[in-house]
Structure 1
C-alpha cells in the first residue's frame, strides 16, 4: 500500500513532468543561448588578445625600421598591419609613425597615402584628427590648398579645434587671403590653452600680420 509520502512524491513528480512538458523547450533554448553567448564572449576576448599580441610584434618590427631610418620597410610593415589588424591601436600609431618617417625621407606621396588611410579608416576619432592635421600640412607643401581645407573641415573634435584653426590660417595665407588667415589664427589663439607653448607660435603669426592679441600687445606697450 502506498504511503502518504509516496503519494506526495508522485504528485510532485507529475507536476514536474507537466511543467517540463509546458516549459522545457523554452528553458533548454534559454540555457543554450546563455552558454553560447558566454562561449562567444570568451572566444572574442581570446581573439582580441591574440590579435593584439600579433599586432604588437609587427609594431615592434616597424619601430625597428623607424630606428634604422628605413622608410620603405616601415611602409611595408604598416601595409601589413592595415591588411591584418586594421582596427587595433597599434595600427593607428604605426600609421602616424610611418608617415612621419616617409615625409622625413622625402616620400611625400607615401606619407600622404598613409595619413589618408588613417583619416578615413582609423578606429579612433583622435587618430583621424591627427592624421587630417598632418595630411593638411603635406597638402600645403604640395599647394593643394582646397584639399587641405577639406581635410581640416573633417577635424570636428573640440580638443583639436585650435590646431585645426591654426593650420587653416596657414592655408588661407598661402592662398593670399591674409584677412581670413588672421581670423582663423585669432580663433586658434583664443581656443588654445594658455599653458600651451604652441600658443606663442600663433601669437607670433598674428603679430607678424599686425594683429597681435590684446594681452600680448598690452604687455609689449608697458
Structure 2
C-alpha cells in the first residue's frame, strides 16, 4: 500500500515538475508584474496623500498670514507653495486668496502677477478661468482694456461662458463700444437661467444701453395671441 502511494506521489511530483518547467517562468513573471503593479499603485496613493497633506500645511500658512494681514509672510509662504506644489488644488485656492488681499492693499502689480501665474500655470481649468476673470477686472480698472480682453479671449469651460461674456461687455462699455457691449451682454443674458439674480443684473446693463429683453416664454405667448 505504501509502495503504491509512493509511486502515485512520485508521479504527481513528476507532473508538477513538468508543469513548472513548461509554465513556471511565465507564471512567475505574471505574479511579479501584478505584485509590482499593486505595490506601485499603493505607493502612488501614499505619495498623493503625502503631497496633499504637505500642500495643505503650506496653504494653511498662507491663509494664517493673510488673516494676520502679514502680506510679506503670506507671499513668502505662497512662493514655497507654488514652487513645491504648483499643480495642487490648495495652491490655486491660496493664489486667489493672496491676490484678493493684494488688491485690497492696493498692490495691483503684485495681484496681477499672482493671478497671471495661476492663469498660466494652474492645473484646474475652473480656477484658471476665475483667475482670468479677476485679472481682466484688474486690467480694466487700470484702463488696460486690450490686455483685459485678451485675458478673457482664452478657451474656458462652458459653464463660464455667461460670466465671461458679461465681463467682456463691461470692458467694451468702458471703451465706449456700446453696440459690441450690448451683443456681449445679450450672450451673457441668454446663457443664464431665468430667475437667477445675476441675469437680472445683466438685464439692467442692457437696459442702460437702451436694449430691452424679454423672456422667451413671454415672446412665445405673444406669438400665440
Q: CA offset at residue 69 of structure 1?
A: 2.2
Cross-structure match for 1:146? 146
Cross-structure match for 2:59? 59
Structure 2 distance, partners of 1:69, 1:213, is: 45
68-77 or 124-133: which moved more? Answer: 68-77
169-178 or 159-168: which moved more? Answer: 169-178
Cross-structure match for 1:90? 90
Structure 2 distance, partners of 1:174, 1:152, is: 15
Q: Per-residue CA shift, 1:68-105, capped at 9, x if unaligned?
A: 22333222221111111122211111011111111111
Structure 2 distance, partners of 1:23, 1:151, is: 62
Q: CA offset at residue 122 of structure 1?
A: 1.6
Which sections of structure 2, spanning at least 5 residues, go unmatched? 219-225
Which sections of structure 1, spanning at least 5 residues, go unmatched? none
Cross-structure match for 1:180? 180
Q: CA offset at residue 155 of structure 1?
A: 4.4
Cross-structure match for 1:210? 210
Q: Is this contact kept in 2: 1:155–1:161, CA < 8 A?
A: no
After superposition, the Cα gap between the structure-2 partners of 1:72 and 1:200, relative to the gap in structure 1 and judged at 3 Å, is farther
Structure 2 distance, partners of 1:144, 1:10, is: 90
Q: Per-residue CA shift, 1:1-25, capped at 9, x if unaligned?
A: 9833322222221121122122212
Q: Per-residue CA shift, 1:144-164, capped at 9, x if unaligned?
A: 322222221224212111100
Computed over aligned residues only, the root mean square deviation of the Cα atoms, in angstroms, reads 1.9
* Count of aligned positions: 216
103-112 or 140-149: which moved more? Answer: 140-149
Cross-structure match for 1:21? 21
Q: Per-residue CA shift, 1:175-204, capped at 9, x if unaligned?
A: 222101000001101111234322222122
Q: TM-score, normalised by structure 1?
A: 0.89
Cross-structure match for 2:158? 158
Q: Is this contact kept in 1: 2:122–2:128, CA < 8 A?
A: yes
